[in-house]
Amino acid sequence: MRTRQLLDNIYRFLNRRPVYHGLFWLMLFGIMLWSNYLKNGDLQMAIIDEAIHLLFYAFLVYTNLLYLIPNYLAKHGFVYFGLVIALCAIVTPIMVLVFYLKYFDEPTYRVNLIEGQFLLFLGNLFVTLLSTVLRVIMDWWHYQTEKQELLTQSMQSELRFLKSQINPHFLFNTLNNLYALTLKKSDKAPEIVLKLSEIMRYMLYECNERRVLLSKEIQYIHNYLDLERLRQPKEADIRFVTEGHISDQMVAPLLFVPFLENSFKHGLNHHVQGGGFVRLRLRVSGENLEFFIENSKAAESVPRQNHPRSGGIGLANVRQRLQLLYPENHTLSVQDEPHRYAVTLYLKMI
């Protein structure tokens, strides 16, 4: 945990613009200084010469970053490259003039300097275009990071939405049934209060971690189904079967809630005369999990457009959440038949 936190702090530090710009210039200056020193053997002269080079490179790079790239690269690519070449062609003679005046007492160096102008031009062009490549890479990296952060925030918002609400119809019906049981002084009333309390506590307080115990998710499903049985007709077939050894496996919180809610909201609740079903199976084998849920569909379904969804999250958002939390480690399949709707989720718990 501490190692991850340290790495995150280092990443945030290196991701600051002054930091990575400073590191770029420091590395470039170090490479140029070492090359010059190996060639001439004079450290003081190498420092002065490469500092001058660095000033010209900085002018080229920041003119490129602050003006040429924002105004021309995306919209006018050919114009951009023409302006880069023109900029380097203008700066190179000025650089030659500076060194020509600096080495006024070395005629041989002056001659070599004038003859080597094209190499200086290529060096300026290389550094300028290198800054373009690095800018494109950094922009792409920031875009991917921001995209991932937005996706993460979206999934977190959806999770908060799930945690902050129980289907109002489910809650009101449960409370009404509880009220009826208390009037009859039924022995079931305390049990219903306990199950409802467990559901509320789990959704509000125990789902704040990225992963929760699978056993708690299963208990949530049991409590939810027990409360649904109160308000559904006695003919309704509601079953939940678990298979395999369930120990300390961890899963994302409220992962199965959308399937569970939708199976009642868009399935069993539309059976006016009863006789529908909701059947669940959860099979565990080590780190592998198979979750299966199916529900009946009423023979004469009311048109969907007259019944907008009022709770839960859609299947598309469930897929996004699974892709974020379990990339390459899940398979979700749906069977939508005239009288039956089924969802199968294969998951590797990591």
pLDDT of residue 296 exceeding 50: yes
Q: Which two tokens stand for residue 60?
A: 């080229």
* Amino acid 234: pLDDT: 80
**Percent of the residues in the chain that have a pLDDT greater than 90, as a whole number:** 23
Task: Give the tokens for residue 224.
Answer: 């939810």
For 301, the token pair is: 């379904």
Closest to 109 in 3D by CA, of 98, 100, 117, 118: 100
User: C-alpha distances in angstroms, 227 versus 3, 174, 195, 255, 285?
Assistant: 44, 7, 8, 19, 29
Is the pTM value of this prediction over 0.85? no
Using the predicted structure, report yes or no on whether residue 231 has a pLDDT greater than 70: yes
Mean pLDDT of the chain: 81
What is the distance of C-alpha 48 from the center of its chain?
A: 47
Please name each of the domains of the chain with its CATH number: 2-151 (no CATH), 166-348 (3.30.565.10)
Question: CA-CA distance, 29 to 21, in Å (whole number)?
Answer: 12
Instruction: Identify whether the C-beta of residue 220 lies closer than 8 Å to the C-beta of residue 200.
Output: no
Higher pLDDT pick, 184 / 101: 101
In tens, the pLDDT along 245-292 reads 998 899 988 888 888 888 887 777 666 566 689 999 999 998 999 999
**Which band of pLDDT confidence, cut at 50, 70 and 90, is reported for residue 311?**
very low
Choice between 188 and 80, residue whose per-residue pLDDT is larger: 80
Distances in Å between the Cα of 199 and the Cα atoms of 148, 189, 221, 224 are: 31, 16, 9, 7
- Three-point CA angle 98, 100, 106, nearest 5°: 140
Q: In whole angstroms, what is the distance from residue 171 CA to residue 193 CA?
A: 12
Strand 250-251 with 288-296, pairing = unpaired
Winning range, highest mean pLDDT, from 168-177, 242-251, 304-313: 242-251
Please name which of 129, 162, 176 lies closest in space to residue 256, comparing C-alpha atoms. Answer: 162
Q: Is 38 exposed, middle or buried (0-12, 13-18, 19+ CB in 10 A)?
A: exposed
How large is the average pLDDT for residues 316-342?
86
pLDDT of residue 170: 60
Share of the chain above pLDDT 70, in %: 85
| Per-residue pLDDT reduced to its tens digit, 331-350 | 999 998 888 899 999 999 87
pLDDT at 36: 80
φ, ψ for residue 69, nearest 5 deg: -65, -50
**CA–CA distance, 70 with 299 (Å, rounded to integer):** 60
Residue with the bigger pLDDT between 58 and 302: it is 58
Region of poorest pLDDT, from 55-59, 207-211, 241-245: 207-211
Which has the higher per-residue pLDDT, 323 or 162? Answer: 323
The burial class, CB within 10 Å (0-12 / 13-18 / 19+), for 50 is buried
